Amino acid sequence: MSERIALVPGSFDPITLGHEDIVRRALALADHVIVAVAYAAQSQKQGMFTVDERVELIRQVFAEEPRIEAASFQGLLVDFAKARGATVVVKGVRSVADFEYEMQMAMMNRRLLPSLDTVVLSPAPEQAFVSASLVRQIATLGGDVAPFVSPPVLTQIREKAGGATRLPGAWT
Ligand code: PNS
């Protein structure tokens, strides 16, 4: 029987513990899991981390798991899935808003490539409120993001946000 390959696509700027939980659970659904950072050529440098940095962090986070691969792709998810022989896309869904967004993409991807299925997984309850955008915001404003990301990610965030200081607040 041929190897079942799953894709976990996203921006991963940066990968959070919520993403990690979804990726590890995807291992139960496939033999090989590709965590794929999606990017547009002209926006390589946007966000907190470059695409290469995001891929490297994903590699470090899953270093002990040979069935998980870190990659990046440009263009359509369905084209990358075809090129890599992936038959399933796995996404985490934290809320009704996430669900609507994911369902629309799942249906569009299904229309573009009928052999590609999307599976949505619920988050670990303790990570259900975590998002990469909130992690970036908290880190940039000098808050502690240690509970939300793995140690290699935390180290890199601290380097990036090293110059950040807490904004003077009205409540101090
Ligand atoms: O981290 P996100 O925002 O949930 O990731 C969204 C992502 C990267 C999975 C989605 O934007 C995507 O698949 N982009 C690749 C381009 C593409 O295929 N667009 C059509 C989607 S129906």
Give residue 144's pLDDT.
97
Give residue 161's pLDDT.
80
* Residues of the chain with confidence (pLDDT) below 70: 42-45, 163-172
Give residue 163's pLDDT.
53
Residue among 16, 49, 105 to mutate when testing ligand 1 (max atoms within 8 A of CB) = 105
Give residue 160's pLDDT.
87
Give CA separation, 18 vs 7, 22, 23, 135, in Å.
16, 7, 9, 11
d(Cα 48, Cα 50) in Å, to the nearest integer?
7
Give residue 45's pLDDT.
56
Give residue 170's pLDDT.
38
**Nearest Cα to 142, choosing from 163, 172, 170?**
163
Residue among 7, 8, 11, 55 to mutate when testing ligand 1 (max atoms within 8 A of CB) = 11
Ligand 1 within 6 A of CB of 108:
yes
Ligand 1 within 6 A of CB of 11:
yes
Give residue 147's pLDDT.
97
Which residues, other chains included, contact 79 with Cβ-Cβ below 8 Å and sequence gap of 6+?
73
If you measure from the C-alpha of residue 28 to the centroid of ligand 1, how many angstroms do you get, rounded to a whole number?
A: 23
